[in-house]
Amino acid sequence: MGLLLLYLSGTSEAQNNQDCCLSYSTVRLPRGVIKGYTEQLSSEVCDISAIVFHTKNGMKACANPEDRWVKKHLLWLSHKLKKMSL
């Protein structure tokens, strides 16, 4: 649990009405705490592109979409979703 708090404390949210990641956490989020994600695009309102992981306890964590572990987690979530839809 301490690692998760460290990870989540490394994330930033915008100070205005837009809920944007301003930076990425440097700590890898464990798969077991993830329940879903959203994609933030720099081509829209926010300054950086990010994957925003949503955790089972209602927290959000900003991750770099180019990081290898993030890509693996997205693939894992995709497979999990396919299994659920069978």
Locate the domains of the chain by residue range: 2-84
Q: Is the pLDDT of residue 84 over 90?
A: no
Q: How confident is the model over 35-50, as pLDDT tens digits?
A: 999 999 999 889 999 9
pTM: 0.75
Residue 4: in which H helix or E strand, if any?
helix 2-9
Let me know the angle formed at the C-alpha of 70 by 68 and 6, rounded to the nearest 5 degrees: 115
pLDDT of residue 17: 43
Whether the CB-CB separation of 53 and 60 falls below 8 Å is answered with: yes
pLDDT of residue 80: 86
Q: Which CATH number fits domain 2-84: 2.40.240.10, 2.40.50.40, 3.40.50.150, 2.10.240.10?
A: 2.40.50.40
Other residues' Cβ atoms within 10 Å of the Cβ of residue 28: 15
N-term to C-term CA, the chain:
33
The pLDDT-based confidence of 11 (bands split at 50, 70, 90) is: very low
Q: What's the whole-number mean pLDDT along residues 6-28?
A: 66
